[in-house]
């Protein structure tokens, strides 16, 4: 139930929560652990990772990029994607609100131990970068015939 104080026409706690979220976006989540597997709130680009017995698929949702300027690398089962997105705003324009991320980014994803770093494909289409890393053939499940 919202608490209203005289002179306030809104829920005071909702205003504090909104202010907390804005400060988190501005300064990041300093109280949270950081590392290769963590991302501060509001990080970009968003990532989905899925796996099947034959491959691992990584999707980065990153519209407005130049695919030629993306740097995709894999080293010791760590997939790293780096790049930059720029947004053009004329000097004479006054910006009232800017929610679209612009600047450099780097995302690192730890992959399973059984992936083959020599069998990686990356395709950027419709603002989504799909990276497919095949698993090694010797670790894929195989059917054993019973006689």
Residues 28 and 71 in one domain: no
Nearest to 105 by CA among 88, 120, 84: 84
Q: Is residue 23 part of a domain?
A: yes
- CB-based contacts of 99, cutoff 8 Å, min separation 6: none
Residues 131 and 81 in one domain: yes
Q: Is residue 14 part of a domain?
A: yes
What's the pTM value of the predicted model, to 2 decimals?
0.65
pLDDT at 56: 95
Structural domain tally of the chain? 2
Share of the chain above pLDDT 90, in %: 42
Least confident of 13-17, 38-42, 113-117, 129-133: 38-42
Least confident of 1-5, 75-79, 95-99, 135-139: 1-5
pLDDT reading at 7 higher than 60? no
Q: Is residue 39 part of a domain?
A: no
Q: Is residue 145 part of a domain?
A: no
Residues 82 and 26 in one domain: no
Note whether 48 and 59 are within 8 A (CB).
yes
Residues 127 and 61 in one domain: yes
CATH of the domain at 51: 2.60.40.790
The tokens for 62 are 């990153």
Residues 57 and 125 in one domain: yes
pLDDT at 95: 81
Structural domain harbouring 68: 44-139
72-131 confidence digits (pLDDT tens): 999 999 999 999 988 788 888 888 887 777 888 999 999 999 999 999 999 999 999 999
- Best mean pLDDT range from 60-64, 104-108, 131-135: 131-135
Its sign, for the CA torsion 37, 41, 43, 49, is positive
Residues 28 and 67 in one domain: no
Q: Is residue 70 part of a domain?
A: yes
Mean pLDDT of the chain: 81
């Amino acid at each position: 139930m919202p608490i209203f104080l005289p002179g306030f026409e809104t829920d005071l706690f909702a205003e504090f929560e909104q202010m907390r979220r804005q400060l988190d976006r501005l300064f990041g989540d300093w109280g949270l652990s950081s590392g290769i597997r963590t991302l501060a709130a509001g990080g970009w680009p968003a990532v989905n990772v899925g796996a099947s017995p034959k491959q691992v698929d990584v999707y980065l949702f990153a519209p407005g990029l130049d695919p030629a300027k993306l740097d995709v690398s894999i080293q010791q089962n760590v997939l790293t994607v780096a790049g930059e997105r720029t947004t053009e705003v004329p000097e004479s324009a006054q910006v009232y609100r800017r929610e679209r991320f612009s600047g450099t980014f780097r995302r690192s994803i730890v992959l399973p131990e059984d992936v083959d770093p020599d069998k990686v494909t990356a395709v950027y289409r419709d603002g989504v970068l799909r990276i497919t890393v095949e698993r090694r053939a010797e670790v894929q499940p195989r059917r054993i015939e019973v006689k």
